[in-house]
Amino acid sequence: MKRVGIAILGLGVVGGGTYEILTRNREFYQKTQNVDITVESVLELRRERALSLGIPEENIAGSIEEVLANPNVDIVVEVMGGVEAARNFVTLALKSGKSVVTSNKELLSKYWHELERLARQRSVGLYYEASCVGGVPIIRTLLDGLQANRIEKMTGIINGTTNYILTRMTEDNADYANALKEAQRLGYAEANPEADVEGFDAAYKLSILSSLAFHTKVPFQKIYREGISGIQAADIRHGKELGYVLKLLAIGTNSQEGVEVRVHPAFIKADHPLAAVNNSFNAVLVHGDSVGDIMLYGRGAGAEPTGSAIVSDILFAATHSDVQYSTFKNTASAEKDVRFITDFKSAYYIRLNAVDEAGTLAKITGIFSKNGISIVELTQKGSCVEGRVPLVIVTHETREQSIKNTVAKIRAAGTLGTVEAVIRVVMG
């Protein structure tokens, strides 16, 4: 039976979960995978944390050099978080001829090209299933399940923190601040939640997933990003009345026009497959030219779901002698012939506080018309307050720039009212 030694860098929530899965299921993997996985070394500054998990003291390393000097270590698992220290440790591991498994989506999205180049030079593996969508096997599906397809579109809820917050705002009529506090209390949101609520986390993941799906490098800098911190409870309520559910979506499309990648809040129809994905759960809807639509759903974070993805990569590395690398030119920037669409098409929900005077509505709709925007629905949400009337407008599909021009004109007029919210509506 093949014996494979593992080193784990960091015993936080995910690292601890990974250790527990490997320990608990060791005999199961021997029986089903014909491989004996042993944890030979851990790098953790909190020795008491390592000891509490049952790790022998002699297996607790004091430095990355000690870890890499261990001849029994074949695969290094990086679950430290952060970027610079992790980048340094992963670089050293690859240079020393060790395969690496990482859950670090920010590290990978920023330095994937650099790390993969080292892995190729040393003929070792770089695995990252756990970097995107927790325990949901989206990366392995793209690499080994859907390779017969040209992937034309991906739409996903790929951040559990924001999905939990929006679920609470939807189901409990909570405002953003209170929903965020509850997410922090439960451990779904960090003390500084910026990476999640402003869409950075989802953008890092979409960079990785769209690169794999479309077989071309999609740098995260190319992704349009907008978070949920400006979402108001009133808009979620109005959306529900119109038959919509609000989600933070990661959207990637690959067409003859080019590659379109964006992360932002969006209304979707209540019967959309992603509308029922609530709380901290994640899902990705993928459309292939041959298979049509498939959806992967599951927990997007947590010790054991993410640990499951890490152990899956460990087992894949341990049982496959051939190493897989990117199917595209993996460089720091996109290839020159790839066109990125920024003026994308969408329907839009717009809420205004309009001045309650004769002719105001005609002027507002006239601005929409002059910008080539057709209105699907216009409703008044409440009565006149202090000379202002709340209006909600839903448009047909139009270009992003047309909406920006329209909103700018209404605001510049100064006499028509205020634009309180602009939220995209995804019809398909």
d(CA 279, CA 263): 18
Positions annotated as catalytic residues are: 205
Residue located via tokens 């018309």: 369
Sequence-distant contacts of 364-373: CB under 8 A, at least 24 apart: 364/391, 364/410, 364/416, 364/417, 367/406, 367/409, 367/410, 367/413, 368/393, 368/395, 368/406, 371/398, 371/402, 371/403, 371/405, 371/406, 371/409, 372/398, 372/402, 373/398, 373/402, 373/403, 373/406
Residue with token string 């917050």 = 165
Q: Which DSSP helix (H) or strand (E) runs through 366?
A: helix 360-370
Q: CA 62 to CA 173: how far, in whole Å?
A: 49
Residues 336-365, buried b or exposed e (16+ Cβ, 10 A)?
eebeebeebebbbbbbbbbbeeeebbebbe
- Please compute Rg for the chain using Cα positions: 24
Cα distances from 119 to residues 57, 131, 135, 309, 328, in angstroms, run 31, 17, 24, 20, 15
Q: Which two tokens stand for residue 22?
A: 């490997």
